Structure 1
């Protein structure tokens, strides 16, 4: 996992040293439970009750590693097989990250999420625009088609506050403490991986395990 902790917004890559493997799913499995991924305890908590296999990226617009992972996440989303859906959960780990979580839900509500998701990462980390405060975030979205006053109203609404509260509880249930992290079907959480390429490959492998386990 490429961790940005609750304390440091831009931390060095963490989790690169492998831990001792707890057990292997099979002798030929390319990844080890307890090492590259963790099997979460039941009951499994999902984002939605759709019935599809769920791939969730836990991220933050304040996380430079999430910005670096964004192209890989796009590739992963496009490559998922039928019956699998890709979702995002913004991590509200600290006061500096909460405005970005609010921005995610406001952008989604206003229908500008798809056109601004990657652009916000680029503006903040590639172009080094000052996008940190509520006002700066609102200015960014206003420049990309959102009504500024409406954006602020939605971002600060009780509905969005409830989303953030629920997300924090979900991430605690999943044991997520860094970003980007991927959770598959509320059952598997990625752990110690070395590269973004490996993170994508691991996710696809976990998805296949879930699809294979579904009733025929």
Structure 2
């Protein structure tokens, strides 16, 4: 059985507080996946991450999660294969204090224009090459090796707007009922649940996306 990394939500440092924050489709006997098993229909409709108007695929992940590292190649393939009008987003899960630096790293690298070239490299360095990348200083060292100005990276990572974004992310993740990574949420309506492999998670994502496209993405 494929299992996601599951962590108990804890109060975050830097004043980040836990906040507690569609309609169900009719059963389809021919469907390869079952609502309530491989995926769940979320009770609160249209809780999307963005307002772009496109069908939205969100991976809730963390650089501290080895399963996310293992799933990352599948995410890369998903991004390339998703139909026109569909976009893939990443949301770093700040499940506890030890994972908040990874969320900060994600947003700082995105602001500095380094995300695309460092995303998979971070996973490789941490889990394959066994670099110690946990504290903000260690994380800053990693990005400095990939061309970032170390002081600028730390400043961006600790900026008030990043604090606010992480707080919003946590609230949305809780609204979606996400308690493990990697988790996929499609259009704020469907969340992956009991999948047995990364291949199944990727295939489920494509199926849910097509379902949204067929329904007219309402």
Query: In the TM superposition, what is the alpha-carbon distance from 1:191 to its structure 2 partner?
Result: 0.2
Q: 2:190 aligns with which of 188, 191, 196?
A: 188
Partner of 1:32, secondary structure, is: coil
**Structure 1 segments (4+ residues) deviating >6 Å:** none
* 1:123 counterpart residue number: 125
* Contact 2:57 2:89 (C-alpha < 8 Å) held by counterparts: yes
Q: Deviations over 1:86-131 (max 9, x none)?
A: 0000000000000000000000000000000000000000000000
* 1:97 counterpart residue number: 99
* Contact 2:195 2:201 (C-alpha < 8 Å) held by counterparts: yes
Query: In the TM superposition, what is the alpha-carbon distance from 1:2 to its structure 2 partner?
Result: 3.2
* Contact 1:102 1:155 (C-alpha < 8 Å) held by counterparts: yes
* 1:3 counterpart residue number: 4
Whether 2:56 is the aligned partner of 1:54: answer: yes
Query: In the TM superposition, what is the alpha-carbon distance from 1:7 to its structure 2 partner?
Result: 4.8
Structure 2 Cα separation of the partners of residues 122 and 69 of structure 1? 12
Q: Count matched residues.
A: 203
* 2:31 counterpart residue number: 29
Structure 1 Cα separation of the partners of residues 128 and 145 of structure 2? 17
Structure 2 Cα separation of the partners of residues 51 and 133 of structure 1? 37
* 2:40 counterpart residue number: 38
Structure 2 Cα separation of the partners of residues 91 and 7 of structure 1? 12
Structure 2 Cα separation of the partners of residues 7 and 191 of structure 1? 17
TM-score, normalisation: structure 2: 0.90
TM-score, normalisation: structure 1: 0.90
Query: In the TM superposition, what is the alpha-carbon distance from 1:215 to its structure 2 partner?
Result: 6.8
Structure 1 Cα separation of the partners of residues 89 and 3 of structure 2? 19
RMSD between aligned residues: 1.8
* 1:160 counterpart residue number: 162
Partner of 1:33, secondary structure, is: coil
- 182-191 vs 39-48, which deviates more? 39-48
Pairwise mapping of residues 5-20 of structure 1 onto structure 2 (< 5 A)? 5-7=6-8
Structure 2 Cα separation of the partners of residues 193 and 160 of structure 1? 32
Structure 2 Cα separation of the partners of residues 138 and 55 of structure 1? 29
